[in-house]
Structure 1
Amino acid sequence: MISLFDLSLQLNGFPIKKAKADLDAITRLSEKEFLQFLQKQKDDIVGFHLQNNPFYNELVGNKIVRKWEDLPVLNKQNLQKPLEHRLSKGYTLKNVYCNKTSGSSGTPFVFAKDKYTHAMTWASNSMRFGWFGIDFNYSYQARFYGIPMDFVGYQKERFKDYLGNRFRFPVFDLSDEVLERFLQKFKTKKFDYLNGYTSSIVLFAKFLEKKNSFLKDICPTLKACFVTSEMLFESDKKLLEKQFGIPIINEYGASELDLIAFENPKGEWQVNSETLFVEILDEHNQVLPYGKEGRIVITSLFNKANPFIRYDIGDIGILDEKSTLQKPILKKLVGRTNDVALLPSGKKSPGLTFYYVTKSIIEDDGNVKEFIIKQTQLDTFEIEYISEHELDIHQIQKIEEAISLYLEPNLNFSFIRKTVLERTNRGKLKQFKSYL
């Protein structure tokens, strides 16, 4: 069988072979060598952006940066300006990998990675999944994700699924009839693993529990289940283990960066120290010692196209006391939960569905700064947003079309432009909230 996945990356100009070899070399460094590598990467990436990135220069300003802690902390609002204004010299929209963040934090933007960095992201994913016997080139994935509903976007994702050896279960409708159809697929296909949004996979497990069915009995080829994008609560993990009968692995990542932490076979949430540098800061941007709770701030050690240096991802966490620079362990992650929307037709849609709705309206101009969606009645929603200009009738129409496509028709939406949005007591935006 041909390694389709690696081949497709290679053909698209992402040097996956080199990235895998480089990553392998980093993992083999002794502690002393690793500290030298880390110091060099940090110096190199800052030096590169100070020389080649006007956006980053402006952020640093005129102050003399003597040590790492003097560098500014970058936040999502800083990044909400057209991508062309943030790219380093030598990089254009033509020679980088571009995407939009999920906006699950309520603060969306467009980002870029140079091709080598994107290959490193896949090498790092590949290595971590490999800890559990999963190989992207050969293992067959049951993918619980959304999918763009416009014709071109839909076909593109389906083709990527084919190359990535995965079968997609779209999560926009998780009513019992749909989950029953999902279950039938597990009877006929030899899946090796599940991967997808925590809330959707948990709903599937609750459905199995109701039927008193066990997934491993139905699909004996399954080896593991990887959940992402939202918090996995201990009670839900126990439910998944019971109904699926396979190891449940918790991952924490960000599309603009990489996998940030990934549960290793010992059950530790191991931080990716090969391509990222993770710090925990207090409200005054001071570095906190291991064991103390604070803001998670991350540096992408390789991305030359778009600076992510001391980037505040908007999450709160604690690094375990037993962490080292070479092997940091995430002890606790706070936040990243979304409610489930219940609709008049009986359909259940995870809050992350709204990511696909909003993705269709988030333009690269950075007009919409933040938004939250509230469900006040079965058929009624409020979208509160902060923007430079009010949404015009054309944009509102576009959102309403996206809503009837991803959720269902005849829902009522009101759009409320605000100057400030309510946050949790930890300062996080919850993108979707149900008041039912």
Structure 2
Amino acid sequence: MSGAYTWLVAHVLFPLHERLKGHDTVKLRRRLEESQWWPREKIEAIQLLRLRRLLARAQVHVPYYRALFARVGFDPGRVERVADLGSLPFLTKADIRANLEALKADDAQGLARSNTGGSSGEPLIFFIGKQRVSHDVAAKWRATRWWGVDIGDPEIVVWGSPIELSRQDRLRAWRDRVLRSHLLPAFEMSQARLDGYLATIRRMRPHMLFGYPSSLALIAQHAEKRGVVMHDLGIRVAFVTSERLYDHQRETISRTFGCPVANGYGGRDAGFIAHECPAGGMHITAEDILVEIVDEAGRVLPPGEAGEIVVTHLATGDFPFIRYRTGDVGVLDDRSCACGRGLPLLKEIQGRNTDFVVAQDGTVMHGLALIYVVRDVPGVAQFKIVQESAEFTRVLLVTGPEFQETSLAAIRTGLARRLGSGVKIEIERVAEIPREASGKYRYIVSKVAP
């Protein structure tokens, strides 16, 4: 019956849902499942064609790029190779903040406001169109099917984004029930909450788990501590994303749940960049996304050398991301994957890490529980939260002209509500927050072992 219901969802209900939203997800997923087997040269030809279209549209319809192209003397009509993109300046988070309206295409319709999770300490607001959403959903859908998991198969999602957690209205709850997707909040993971999570997973017997590697590893560790068997549930894969996946996390999750772990890399801003296949290759969604690796001087690096990941998303004509600096560090791979797909590979992804914090009463929480207290405060440009001990937490703030002094009390109250009323919260206003050796900000550092 499970197979029949999954077929109904994947072939009837979900396609209808997407059509009603004006998305081309189903058609795009089918195309992606065909193009993934193309030779590298054919994929690169499609990239070039779509890049030319994106650049031409940006020149005509996007005020920011119309002015930029004129200023640097860039002619989209003369682009003959993907490498010609290197003559354009990078797009940074600061550029997006300063030119939010000018980055919108003048003919765009139905743009939706979005924002990043603030993992870099620099929250970012931007807009996405229906084309972008369709392509990203199709890319993720293709990746889940690599592991024998389809839309409609039961899944457990361990997540903490307020975008997900704030939309549990009747329509959303109904949709999740139809799709058999069950959300477990990653913010608070007390012993009692973890016991409940184990019971839910055992009862639901999902085909896949999806979430932060740190969260799934914590649940796995709790199962082992409690002596609760979880490897007999028929889970096919555990998808992890949004943080760096460490070897010990992969081993713990796989051992406890009796399934392989598939790593994914991407973000709300940059899109669904890459996902791991069963043969172990981190395949870039090359039909939609161009990836460059650059050094500190902005020079493009060859495969095998580590540098900042720069992304051009080819389905962002309504709000273009062209040579967007992600702030992440990675390495391209020039080898082919044993699976036979022609999609290029990421060899390594560095610099992503989301810590847990420990409340005064011992409750373990995902670091995002603190991040969201500070992230959306008007006027906060950058921040870093350092949990020095169970009784003392420091907050470094870089603020702009919109920041109100009354927000300081709100931040203290919000953090104390999560960490404990007896915790001392010290807030320091600074001109700049130093970067880590990797070149990224660490938005949260906990010196308290969970």
TM-score computed with the length of structure 2 as normaliser: 0.87
Q: Determine whether 1:338 maps to 2:347.
A: no
**For 2:46, what is the secondary structure of its paired residue?**
helix
Deviation at 1:96, TM superposition (A): 1.7
Q: Determine whether 1:19 maps to 2:28.
A: yes
Q: Given the alignment, which residue of 69, 72, 85 partners 2:86?
A: 69
- Partners of 2:292 and 2:311 within 8 A in 1: yes
Q: Given the alignment, which residue of 248, 251, 261 partners 1:248?
A: 261
Q: Determine whether 1:78 maps to 2:98.
A: no
- For 2:156, the equivalent position in structure 1 comes to 142
Counting aligned pairs with the same residue, the percent is 26
Q: Determine whether 1:173 maps to 2:188.
A: yes
Deviation at 1:117, TM superposition (A): 1.8
Q: Runs of 5+ in structure 1 lacking a partner? A: none
Determine the C-alpha separation between the residues in 2 that align with 1:370 and 1:163.
40
User: Taking structure 1 as reference, are residues 71 and 292 closer, same or farther at Cα in structure 2, changes over 3 Å only?
Assistant: same
User: Taking structure 1 as reference, are residues 27 and 151 closer, same or farther at Cα in structure 2, changes over 3 Å only?
Assistant: closer
Determine the C-alpha separation between the residues in 2 that align with 1:153 and 1:41.
34
Q: Which moved more, 1:373-382 or 1:171-180?
A: 373-382
- For 2:431, the equivalent position in structure 1 comes to 419
- Partners of 1:316 and 1:335 within 8 A in 2: yes
Deviation at 1:255, TM superposition (A): 1.2
- Partners of 1:77 and 1:369 within 8 A in 2: no
**Count of residues in Structure 1 that have an aligned counterpart in Structure 2:** 427
Q: Determine whether 1:119 maps to 2:134.
A: yes
- For 1:88, the equivalent position in structure 2 comes to 105
Q: Runs of 5+ in structure 2 lacking a partner? A: 79-83
Deviation at 1:410, TM superposition (A): 5.6
- For 2:81, the equivalent position in structure 1 comes to none
Structure 2 matches for 1:24-423, cutoff 5 A?
A: 24-27=33-36, 29-60=38-69, 62-65=71-74, 67-81=84-98, 83-91=100-108, 95-136=110-151, 138-146=152-160, 148=162, 153-155=167-169, 158=173, 161-217=176-232, 220-322=233-335, 326-361=342-377, 367-389=379-401, 391-396=403-408, 398-400=410-412, 402-403=414-415, 411-423=423-435
- Partners of 1:172 and 1:406 within 8 A in 2: no
Determine the C-alpha separation between the residues in 2 that align with 1:196 and 1:202.
10
Please tell me the root mean square deviation across aligned C-alpha atoms, in Å: 2.6
For residues 55-101 of structure 1, the C-alpha deviation after alignment (integer angstroms, 9 at most, x for no partner) is 23344551123632111111122112463332111125xx1233111
User: Taking structure 1 as reference, are residues 192 and 150 closer, same or farther at Cα in structure 2, changes over 3 Å only?
Assistant: closer
Determine the C-alpha separation between the residues in 2 that align with 1:52 and 1:396.
41
Q: Determine whether 1:431 maps to 2:443.
A: yes
- Partners of 2:396 and 2:433 within 8 A in 1: yes
Deviation at 1:212, TM superposition (A): 3.5
- Partners of 1:205 and 1:239 within 8 A in 2: yes
Residue identity matched to 2:115: K
For residues 266-315 of structure 1, the C-alpha deviation after alignment (integer angstroms, 9 at most, x for no partner) is 01111111210111111222211111111111100111111111111001
Determine the C-alpha separation between the residues in 2 that align with 1:433 and 1:61.
43
Deviation at 1:340, TM superposition (A): 1.4
- Partners of 1:276 and 1:298 within 8 A in 2: yes
Determine the C-alpha separation between the residues in 1 that align with 2:369 and 2:179.
22
User: Taking structure 1 as reference, are residues 20 and 242 closer, same or farther at Cα in structure 2, changes over 3 Å only?
Assistant: closer
Q: Which moved more, 1:352-361 or 1:74-83?
A: 352-361
Deviation at 1:213, TM superposition (A): 3.3
Q: Which moved more, 1:320-329 or 1:121-130?
A: 320-329
- Partners of 1:290 and 1:321 within 8 A in 2: yes
For residues 74-131 of structure 1, the C-alpha deviation after alignment (integer angstroms, 9 at most, x for no partner) is 1122112463332111125xx1233111111112111222212211111111000000
User: Taking structure 1 as reference, are residues 408 and 323 closer, same or farther at Cα in structure 2, changes over 3 Å only?
Assistant: farther
- Partners of 2:310 and 2:324 within 8 A in 1: yes
Structure 2 matches for 1:3-18, cutoff 5 A?
A: 3=9, 4-18=13-27
For residues 388-421 of structure 1, the C-alpha deviation after alignment (integer angstroms, 9 at most, x for no partner) is 2263145445545654666655654333322110
TM-score computed with the length of structure 1 as normaliser: 0.89
Determine the C-alpha separation between the residues in 2 that align with 1:214 and 1:400.
41
- Partners of 1:374 and 1:432 within 8 A in 2: yes
Determine the C-alpha separation between the residues in 1 that align with 2:410 and 2:72.
44
